[in-house]
Amino acid sequence: MNSPWVVMWSLAVAIYIGCKWLTWHFARQSDAGGKRVAEYLVLWPGMDSEAFLHGRSEVAVPTLSEWLFAAGKMALGIVLLYGVLPWLSAERELLVGWTGMVGLIFVLHFGLFHLLSCWWRAHGVDAKSLMDWPIVSTSLGEFWGRRWNRAFRDLTFRYLFRPLTKRFGATWGLLAGFLMSGLVHDAVISIPAGGGYGGPTLFFVLQGIGMMVERSTPGRRVGLGSGAVGWLFTAACLVLPVAMLFHPPFVRNVMVPFLHVIGAA
């Protein structure tokens, strides 16, 4: 029987491959050569096929400081995984698992993926960084729509939010889109963990509700979508229910064993 972490990665990779094919299949085919298509499918984690394959008028060439910043974030993740984790007590599984998850996010999403963005932009390809300072978001709309994981945003906006909004209207389209996102995360997180079912779905539904609240008349009146109040509201909506997304069964049954496999714990 496969280990839970093997099931998790298998599901994640299968969904990722399917999504990459979907974005390529519906992209304009005439201008992109086979080499560029292969590079998009294999060597870039983003989901904006139009930008990568066909480019745009101006590409922001990375500076040396951006290269160093991306490398520094990756280094920080490696330090967390192989410098901090060995010092943590194995009995504190939740702390070990969460520290490992943060380390992996810095290595991959903030580090490696940013370095890939720098590489492609240095070669004239429109491949914007997938993360754009999510910590400074002053609204949930800004966080999910522009700053956190552009690959996920590009995919869900084009194939979930836009068609669902056209069919059901802005409010129900928004909630339906977050609901479907939650179900996908539930499949990748809860099924391998053998528990915590519904937690990821509820987390994403709460994000949709939070966006509705911040866009409401009372929400705008008290400044939930901007400034310091907006930042605090966004942080609360993301941090307080995050244990629903990465619930204890996932941390203990999937993440901690995976950290042992890669020699980090």
Q: Give the per-residue pLDDT at 25.
A: 82
Query: Average pLDDT, whole number, for the chain?
Result: 92
| pLDDT confidence band for 29 (50 / 70 / 90) | low
Whether residue 156 is predicted with pLDDT greater than 90 in this model: the reply is no
- The interaxial angle of helices 93-105 and 64-79, nearest 10 deg, is 160
For the segment 45-66, what is each residue's pLDDT rounded down to a tens digit? 999 888 898 876 678 899 999 9
| pLDDT confidence band for 23 (50 / 70 / 90) | confident
User: What is the distance between the terminal CA atoms of the chain, rounded to a whole angstrom?
Assistant: 23
Q: Specify the residue for token string 């609360």.
A: 236
> How far apart are the C-alpha atoms of 46 and 51, rounded to whole Å?
10
- The interaxial angle of helices 4-25 and 34-43, nearest 10 deg, is 150
For the segment 203-261, what is each residue's pLDDT rounded down to a tens digit? 999 999 999 999 999 999 999 989 999 999 999 999 999 999 999 999 999 999 999 99
H helices, E strands: number in the chain:
16, 0
Q: Give the per-residue pLDDT at 42.
A: 92
What percent of the chain has pLDDT above 90? 73
Q: What average pLDDT score do residues 26-34 get?
A: 68
Whether residue 32 is predicted with pLDDT greater than 90 in this model: the reply is no
Q: Which of 15-29, 67-81, 245-259 has the lowest mean pLDDT?
A: 15-29
Q: What is the DSSP secondary structure assignment for residue 198, as one 8-state letter?
A: T
For the segment 157-214, what is each residue's pLDDT rounded down to a tens digit? 888 788 888 888 888 888 888 998 999 999 999 999 999 999 999 999 999 999 999 9
What percent of the chain has pLDDT above 70? 97
Q: Give the per-residue pLDDT at 57.
A: 62
For the segment 102-141, what is each residue's pLDDT rounded down to a tens digit? 999 999 999 999 999 999 999 999 999 999 999 999 999 9
| pLDDT confidence band for 30 (50 / 70 / 90) | low
Q: What is the DSSP secondary structure assignment for residue 259, as one 8-state letter?
A: H
- The interaxial angle of helices 199-215 and 227-239, nearest 10 deg, is 160
Residue that wins the pLDDT comparison between 99 and 90: 99
pTM: 0.92
